[in-house]
Amino acid sequence: MQQFTTYGAKIHMDSAKPVQAMIRIYRNAVSFLIRVCMEQWEEIAQIKTLQARQMCVERLIHHTTNRPTVVYEDFDKQFYKLPSYIRRSAISEAVGKVESYQGNLRRWEKEKNGKAPGKPEAGYTYPVLYRKNMYERTGEYTARIKVWIRNTWDWMDIRFRKSDADYIARHCSDRMTFSPTVIRKGKQWFLQFSFSENVSLGEKEIQEQVILAVDLGINNACACSAMKYDGTVVGRKIFRMPAEEDCLNHQLNRIRKEMKQGHLHFPSLWASIESLNRHIAVETARFIMETATGFNADGIVFEHLDPGKKKSSRNRRQRLHMWKCRDIQSMVTCKAHRLGIRTSHVCAWNTSALAFDGSGKVERGIDHNHSICRFTTGKVYNCDLNASYNIGARYYIREILKTMPVTAGLDISAKVPECSRRSTCTLSTLISLNAVLAA
């Protein structure tokens, strides 16, 4: 499979005004071209390929020796000497925005659900700097880009950080590199490089696989359990970040206190919380990958999580809102695929609510501690580890049943009724299923 990654390299330059002028001209060109595409969409929509669409729009706006007159005469006058690669980048951006708008509009007219989609705008788009025409590498830590400077389009020198240039040379030299995009984050400027590589994922049989079942939690960053096909747990680890969690809770308490006093805007506090959450997500993903490689796992299994719909008590609702579970899963998936490790997701219902030994629902919040639970048998166990066992078991049960004929699956469901509903499967269900298969 083909995998795409991006890396933003911070750049230094003598003045940012030429880059700002280039971006302003580019966005104005995109706005102009959006209007052109909206008016000529019936003709453009009949063309299938992007390159043919670019040529179609160019015939409407750009003068050449063989094309002295065009429909939209103002484009060349308003954007004098605009480089051809900037023009084609703007055309691609405009065509994409209009195509998306037209598709959303057709769906809205069919369903009439909610408000009509807003008309496309240029927004905060940034130009792609095509190599040899808009971007050239001049040294190990230097390059030059074409910008609007001294009332013309000319080259300007930029410098990379040594750490960024070394990282790209060390880790991305064997990947296909695409043209960079110049972007701005706050007061800093970056060249965002895109890379492509071909990766091959493992093809082991289900009986030979070792998986890492991961439960992403609120109290603990994550709990990982390495499991085999027969339900044997070969290893387990829990990752905690007490200092970061304490700092995050302190910042959230400050915001709640200020809100009670009638204050509504806290940009510095929210920026600090966002940075802290990002750090927690990155460290959690790193720990999961280290654990997976340590146990030689062939797959990593997560839950299908949707924190936006998750119900919780009032004092924990804001903490759930800040939970970056999707970012963690995305980072782990990208890193795992590069190492040939597959990722999968299972149903999240009742993974924490049911005991892994099949004794039924558990009691949580013992002595106001949400990290432990009590089974109906009286056993006290870690909630996150219990959930990770059930996650791994559901993965194996699904993989076993989907390869069986329908008649054999019905026979097994009769002997192990929990298999018929994936939301009630636990580790004991997997053990019972293996016993039936062995018999």
pLDDT digits (tens, 9 = 90+) for 40-51: 999 999 998 989
How does residue 35 score in pLDDT terms, banded at 50, 70 and 90? very high
CA distance 77 to 56: 19
Determine contact, residues 134/146, Cβ cutoff 8 Å.
Answer: yes
Whether 378 shows a pLDDT value over 60: the answer reads: yes
Residue with the two structure tokens 């030429």: 18
CA distance 285 to 300: 12
Closest CA to 390 of 421, 415, 362, 353: 353
How does residue 321 score in pLDDT terms, banded at 50, 70 and 90? low
Average pLDDT over residues 384-406: 92
Q: What is the pLDDT of residue 318?
A: 56
Pairing of the two strands 176-177 and 188-198: antiparallel
Q: What is the pLDDT of residue 257?
A: 86
Tokens of 383: 């909630």
What 3-state DSSP class applies to 240? coil
**What contacts 27, CB < 8 A, 6 or more positions away?**
122, 123, 125
- Averaged pLDDT of the chain: 90
Average pLDDT over residues 213-227: 91
Q: Which helix (H) or strand (E) holds 408?
A: helix 406-415
CA distance 231 to 219: 26
> Which pLDDT tens digit goes with each residue over 134-183?
999 999 999 999 999 988 999 999 999 999 999 999 989 889 999 999 99
Q: What is the pLDDT of residue 310?
A: 43
Determine contact, residues 285/300, Cβ cutoff 8 Å.
Answer: no
- Higher pLDDT residue, 29 or 368? 29
- Residues present in the chain in total: 439
Q: What is the pLDDT of residue 215?
A: 94
Determine contact, residues 385/342, Cβ cutoff 8 Å.
Answer: no
What 3-state DSSP class applies to 233? strand
Rg (CA), the chain: 28
> Which pTM was predicted?
0.81
Residue 371 has phi, psi (to 5 degrees) of -85, -15
The conformational region for residue 365 under phi > 0 = left, psi -120 to 50 = alpha, else beta, is left
Residue with the two structure tokens 């708008």: 101
> Which pLDDT tens digit goes with each residue over 80-102?
889 999 999 999 999 999 999 99
Tokens of 23: 């971006």
The conformational region for residue 231 under phi > 0 = left, psi -120 to 50 = alpha, else beta, is left
Secondary structure, 3-state, 363-383: EEEECCEEEEEECCCCCEEEH
CA distance 426 to 418: 8
Tokens of 353: 């609510």
CA distance 330 to 324: 10
Sign of the dihedral through C-alpha 171, 175, 180, 184: negative
> Which pLDDT tens digit goes with each residue over 325-339?
889 999 999 999 989
Q: What is the pLDDT of residue 322?
A: 57
Q: What angle do CA 267, 325, 426 make, to 5 degrees?
A: 155
Determine contact, residues 391/346, Cβ cutoff 8 Å.
Answer: yes
Whether 208 shows a pLDDT value over 90: the answer reads: yes
Burial 47-76 (b: 16+ CB within 10 A, else e): eeeeeebbebbbebbbeeeeeeebebeebe
